A and B are shown apart, each in its own frame.
Chain A
Amino acid sequence: MLYIFVCEDNAVQRKAVVQTIHNTVLMEEMDMRLVLDTANPYELLEAVKTSQNTGIYFLDIDLKCDMNGMKLAQQIRKYDPRCFIIFITAHSELSYMTFQYRVEAMDFVLKDNPAEAKVKIRECLLHAWERHTLQTNKVHKTYTIEIGERKISVDYQDILFFETSSNIHKVVLHAKDRQIEFYGTMKDLEHTLDDRCFVRCHRSFLANRNNIKEVDTKERVIYFVNGETCLMSTRMMKGI
């Protein structure tokens, strides 16, 4: 069960949003319920504190109050870390990136075009539902990198391999569509990662077995599913 919360200071617009949500939930027969729609962010926060379920939050950014949507979202994240936050706004100039990185906002609904906004809200709900079911049904193993207060999680199934960097304190994670260079050591990685999945194939590489496409024993090169390659040493070849 997902709880839906709406915080919007304009009553007319709030009504429209609520209507769309009702329709979508009914039509798609999703296990969701609209719990609260309000203009007051503090009221919403109180509700979040007592809520037991994961929530979907539709927040206006400019709330005509000393707490704006961004601050509200940050507070919500504290109480409901796995929630889905969607911003409703007329501020098209506030780019989506900041929200995404700061509070991991899921999406962004522009209210200047009501027809488009309806479609967008529907998409958001479906998307959140999809992600929610994925999370609950199939428990993904993830590797988490921490920097400051930010945590970056990468699914095991996306990781190709880890590589040492020329900086001895740093390791490079090669994933399917991303590459992250972070503070860490291979030794720690070997300890934390599941060794049924990861194998040390070379002094400077730690490969994910499940994403290997091909092994060239002659040239001692491992090919991964997206075409990236890493080396392996004869001594450690047995492990694969």
Chain B
Amino acid sequence: MNSYLSLLFSFFLFAITIRNIWPQKMGLKGFAALYALMSFAALPIPLLTYKLYGLFGVLLAVCLYGLAAYQDTRPKNICMGLFGCVLAVILDNVFVGVRHLLPFMDSLEENFYGDFCIAALQMILYYAMTLLCGRAIRWGLLSRRGILQIQQVWYLIDAALLLFVIVFFFHTEVGAEVPLFADRMYYHVMLFAGYFMVAVFLSLAMFGAYREKMRTETRQRAFADLQDYTHNLETMYDGLRSFKHDYINILTSLSGYIENGDMEKLKDFFEEKILPTQKMITQGDYKLNQLGNIAVLEIKSLLSAKMIYAHEMGINVTIDIPDQIPCFSMDTVDLARLLGIFLDNAVEAAMETKRPEVGLNMIQNPDTVAIIIRNSMEEGDLALQKLKQQGFTTKEGHTGIGLANAQKIIRSYDNILWETTKKDGCFTQYLEIERKEV
């Protein structure tokens, strides 16, 4: 019974240490949960086997607790938890050492109250020292900027620390005496479990890093597209402004000719200067402003980038989006991929024709949004069926996975109708997305 109590007491000291250096403020409830979890995980082992292996249970409990509670600082939790374990062990050793230096303690330990006093003293000392350590750590590590702000770094630190703690414990506590076969089994299981956990942390770190990278990439692309879009709008406005300026000049010279009654010169002027401006008004402006009706920024920027590119390739681009389109009932990234594939194909196919044309059209219906992408194409006896097969391509050096991918994306939704038409030298991709009740 006494050993049971002393174990509980040492776990209590562990829990206090961990609480004090925890990255966030841990309330009484959190502390109780941690303590309970630790006791549950760690007590059965020493009680059943009469060995000191309870430490591994503590490690496991701390890791689990760190993952489950206070989720916004997960990797830091685990790191601090492990660090707390190490700190607790060190403090324990220090305390034992100090007590051995003071012989009068031995006599105190004889009676119950003396023992209790020592325990209380030990607890207070623990509390004070760990609180100090916690302050130092929080100041020194947790509030730092720079590389320590990245979660993955913390996961790596966790993995390293865990490995260190496990190896350290084994060599000091267990490694020295493994005479029995059963113990050796146990030893191995523990060691491999430890390695497994290290691997888990490493993969968590990798996964997090990958996701972060993907997110930055998409954001960067959207940003670049948006910049293109704004730049283009600016050039359009510039064009308009210069036209306004010219227009006023034209008007003044017209009035000049009229005042002089010089019909001949007026006629020449009209034919030379004014008639050509008709072209200026109709050409060059490819209605990029209609994209303003799309409220989804990512889609807008993607479309503008693709349309500008098509225009620069000498394709006659038409965009017609008469209504406001507030949202599409599908994942934005999926839609962006779809439209990217369709538009790339449209531009490529249109480039092969004599009068390349690409049209983009969106219509907001009461319960659907229709997206129509149309391009001119060379007439040929190309079967539509083949087009969507993986690996089919009409071009050298292409993998032919574009449309196959598009098909995969569309098939993952129930609310999309997809029509592909090829008629009179015109290829059309028609998507109709039904609004989903959310």
Contacts and interface: CB of A to CB of B under 8 A. Distances in A.
**A and B: bona fide binding partners:** yes
Interface of A: 92-95, 97-98, 101-102, 145, 147-150, 152, 165-167, 169-170, 174, 177-183, 226-229
A238 to B, nearest CB: 25
B422 A177 contact: yes
Interface in B364-385: 365-368, 370, 372, 374, 381, 383-385
A178 to B, nearest CB: 4
B105 interface: no
Given A98-B363, A101-B372, A228-B384, A167 B421 contact: no
19 contacts: A95-B320, A95-B359, A95-B361, A97-B318, A97-B361, A98-B363, A102-B363, A148-B367, A148-B432, A150-B365, A150-B432, A166-B411, A177-B384, A177-B421, A179-B384, A179-B385, A181-B417, A226-B383, A228-B383
B423 A177 contact: yes
A149 B407 CA distance: 24
A165 B417 contact: no
Given A147-B434, A167-B411, A97 B417 contact: no
Interface string B152-178: 000000000000000000000000000
B368 A148 contact: yes
Contacts of B359: 95, 97
Given A94-B320, A148-B365, A165-B411, A174 B417 contact: no
Contacts of A97: 318, 320, 359, 361, 372, 374
A169 B414 contact: yes
A-B complex: 7 closest residue pairs judged by Cβ atoms: A148-B368, A178-B421, A167-B411, A97-B361, A181-B418, A228-B385, A95-B320
A167 B374 CA distance: 26
Nearest to B422: A177
Decide if the interface of chain A is mainly helix, strand, loop or mixed.
mixed
Contacts of A101: 361, 363, 370, 372
A147 B419 CA distance: 12
Contacts of A150: 365, 368, 370, 432
Chain B interface extent, by class: 35 or more
Q: Interface centre among B368, B423, B432, by most A CB within 10 Å?
A: B432
A126 to B, nearest CB: 18
A149 B423 contact: no
A178 B427 CA distance: 10
Interface in B333-380: 359, 361, 363, 365-368, 370, 372, 374
A179 B406 CA distance: 14
B282 interface: yes
Given A92-B282, A150-B365, A229-B385, A178 B411 contact: no
Given A92-B282, A95-B361, A174 B368 contact: no
Given A94-B320, A97-B320, A179 B412 contact: no
Given A147-B432, A165-B411, A183-B417, 14 more contacts: A93-B287, A147-B368, A148-B365, A148-B368, A148-B434, A149-B368, A167-B411, A167-B413, A167-B414, A177-B384, A179-B384, A179-B419, A181-B410, A182-B418
A147 B361 CA distance: 18
Contact of B419 (A95, A149, A180, A227): A180
B24 interface: no
A147 B414 CA distance: 12
A178 B417 CA distance: 13
A239 to B, nearest CB: 22
A178 B411 CA distance: 18
A226 B386 CA distance: 12
A149 B366 contact: yes
B322 interface: yes
